[in-house]
Structure 1
Amino acid sequence: MVWYTAIFATICLMVILYCLSTNNGDSRSRLVASRTTVVFGAVVVLCVVNGFVLVDSSGSRGQKEKKSEIELSLRRIMATKLGAALRPMVKGEAHVLVVSSHELNSDVHDAMLEGLLSGLRAVDEVVKVFIDEDTVNQLPPVPPARQLFTAALLDAAVLDHDRTNVLVSFVDVPPDLFHDSKHDFRSSHNSATRRKVGRKAMVFGVLADDPYLLDKAIETGEITVCIIPQYRFQYTETLETLAEDPDGAFNSRYIMVTEDNLRDVIKANRQMFKLDGVL
């Protein structure tokens, strides 16, 4: 398109020069030249505007791509930290069950899985469970993943893979896992997930967007490690700073919560938790 416009503008310019150079510039030639000049001017303006649009769009596209790379790097760093925090509590090789969702971009999911396995190091088996597998090909509206995520679904996945000693959720936790009467931690009827975590046969790591009401589960050790976003943060990272200081990048964006530091985290981030008797 740009080349066609440039060729047309060149033809207009040639017509102007030809008309002015013939017949000593009589009135008819001057009229043609005048009208052609208007067209030529419009074409030039169009070219300039088009050039600015192209430059701006390519710049915006480049910025979006760079921001996407930064976000992927941050997610990878976050998952690596989670894996490294879980590793000391895992005996022998890790048999990992990862619960995810098709709502996550595949690149994001892959980056987090790569980071998690890097942090865990010795991994024998990885099983991926997508909580919305049955709905991914349905026509919209499809229920959000967190509405599909139930304690029963998580229990079924744990029971189907009894060798699992590392359970990681990329999509928070089922809302009825810790806040349903039939899932009382001291009850013989509680969930398979909670029983296995309770007898220290499995660790449970969670990447949670919202830690509200998770304080008791973290305090009792039912959630071994929970990583949550900082309440406020600024987008100041670059790919260079991420490579130079991944720990600083993690600390600027995320908070790692365990039973050991839960009270300190709540003191500093009261707005993110329902205290529920912890303090």
Structure 2
Amino acid sequence: MLLGEKKVKKQLSTLLAVVLFFSFLTPVFADNGEGEEETIFDEFTEQELKDNDYILYFVNAGDPTPDTVEGIDKFGLYASVTEQEYKEDPVTGKMWGLTTTTSASSVRDPSNKLGTLRYYNGPQVRDKALAYDFELPEGEYDITFGFKNPWSGARSLCLMAEGQKLSQEDFPIGRDGEEKEITFRRIPVSDGMLNVRVQGPSTGEIHQHNDPLVNYIIIRLSVTLQVSDIEERIEQAKTEASNTAYTPYSREELNKAIADAEKLVQSINNNEKNIDDDETQI
């Protein structure tokens, strides 16, 4: 089975889309049964992680102002900038960043993460890719990829982590400014470094019009939601769904996520699903 394929096929990830579109709708850890705060890693408490939406790395690809974040975005807890070439972070001391040496940035709107991107501009080879490495403790992590291809040529990309494809099929990122986002959950890291690749198409001709690009990458600690937390975030999401400041596409996708989340809660409450089941954890 491909890495992360089971979770992607389920597409349940219930409130996943809600979490993706509105990062403040955060998941929570299961109660440890003692009502005490639980320390995750040596660096952070559970509360610190929750306050940062469990984001450990936030890459705003092509960001002209990597020392700042825009809107509701947040720096990752392991990073002091939104993008850098692979090296030690000047503040956190973690090793992370872009390892590809043949890339360029495109900036159309620096005020949000979908307005900037990084694209590959090297030789036309099958494994052409934008590659990022992230220093992480052993554990499981969620990887979110965001795309807004401003050009007229549609393209599909092979998304990879830890040397494996994250899904059977390449991911279509669209064209002409279409916004796309996808998350793969529970990606295991055992060697202290998460290797991520946004790669060109797996099959077919290769040319500059299908060079890989990416607008943002978010690495989160993989956690489990409680039913009460899902219900609370559904109500928050309903409020956000009426906010016309978001694009019609974002609001449409959010409403779909809300409907999926409500169905899941109903199934759990009817004892049709268990919150601890693998396919209901998001």
**TM-score, with length taken from structure 1:** 0.27
**TM-score, with length taken from structure 2:** 0.27
Higher helix share: 1
More contact order relative to length (CA 8 Å, sep ≥ 6) = 2
Higher strand share: 2
Pair member with larger Rg: 1
